[in-house]
């Protein structure tokens, strides 16, 4: 019989604090090998605000490029040329 992998990562209950600070994936909480619960992380408000700020910055940059008639490729080409000049 083939063993199937766990769909959810398992950790010890005492590891919860450290693990949740470093990871954002669902986990099964275990105690003495028995699953005692599940943890499904939620996105923090600060992460949501950061993501929204980043989206706004991308929109502003895209609008500025469009107003100037520039593309992302134009910017990349200019960057590469400047790097060559500085070497």
The pTM of the full predicted model, rounded to 2 decimals, is 0.44
How many Cα neighbours within 13 Å face the side chain of 28?
12
Q: What is the C-alpha separation between 86 and 81, in angstroms, rounded?
A: 9
Sign of CA dihedral 63, 67, 71, 77: negative
pLDDT in tens, 3-28: 455 566 777 777 777 777 777 788 88
Domain borders along the chain are 9-39, 45-86
24-66 tens-digit pLDDT: 788 888 888 888 888 887 777 887 888 899 899 999 988 888 9
């Amino acid at each position: 019989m083939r063993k199937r992998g766990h769909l959810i990562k398992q950790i010890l209950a005492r590891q919860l604090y450290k693990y949740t600070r470093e990871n954002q994936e669902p986990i099964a909480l275990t105690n003495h090998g028995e699953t005692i619960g599940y943890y499904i992380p939620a996105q923090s408000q600060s992460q949501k605000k950061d993501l929204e700020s980043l989206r706004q910055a991308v929109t502003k940059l895209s609008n500025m490029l469009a107003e100037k008639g520039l593309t992302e490729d134009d910017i990349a080409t200019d960057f590469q040329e400047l790097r060559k000049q500085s070497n």
